[in-house]
Amino acid sequence: GESVGLHLPTLSVQEGDNSIINCAYSNSASDYFIWYKQESGKGPQFIIDIRSNMDKRQGQRVTVLLNKTVKHLSLQIAATQPGDSAVYFCADHTGSNDYKLSFGAGTTVTVRA
């Protein structure tokens, strides 16, 4: 089965609000996690990553939280903009296969004006 998965397939957010996208993983050996954004007709685009020795990492308008106890990570997008509308995937790999990513099914985020 899949190593990672997302809780909700869709998320509708009002422009300007914060978005929270959740992801659960099952492989306790996973040591590296990435969030990707995929716009229609395009390949995944890197957003932010986090290693298992951290529990929080911040980027520009985005924050990733990792809870290893419950094998859960989330992506928070501050002040969501129309350009944030896309499908968001979490992905992970283990140190032994650090070239092979396992992707979840994705959450489609729609930003309402």
Partner 1 sequence: NAGVMQNPRHLVRRRGQEARLRCSPMKGHSHVYWYRQLPEEGLKFMVYLQKENIIDESGMPKERFSAEFPKEGPSILRIQQVVRGDSAAYFCASSPLGQAEGEKLFFGSGTQLSVL
Options 34, 75, 109, 111; binder of partner 1; rule CB under 8 A: 34
Q: Does residue 101 belong to the site contacting partner 1 (CB under 8 A)?
A: yes
Does 85 bind partner 1 (CB under 8 A)? Our answer is no
CA atoms within 13 A on the CB side of 22: 7
CB of 52 to partner 1, least distance (A): 14
Question: Which lies closer to partner 1 via its Cβ, residue 19 or residue 107?
Answer: 107
- Of residues 74 and 103, the one with the C-beta less far from partner 1: 103
Question: What is the H or E stretch that residue 45 is in?
Answer: strand 45-51
d(C-alpha 67, C-alpha 55), whole Å: 6
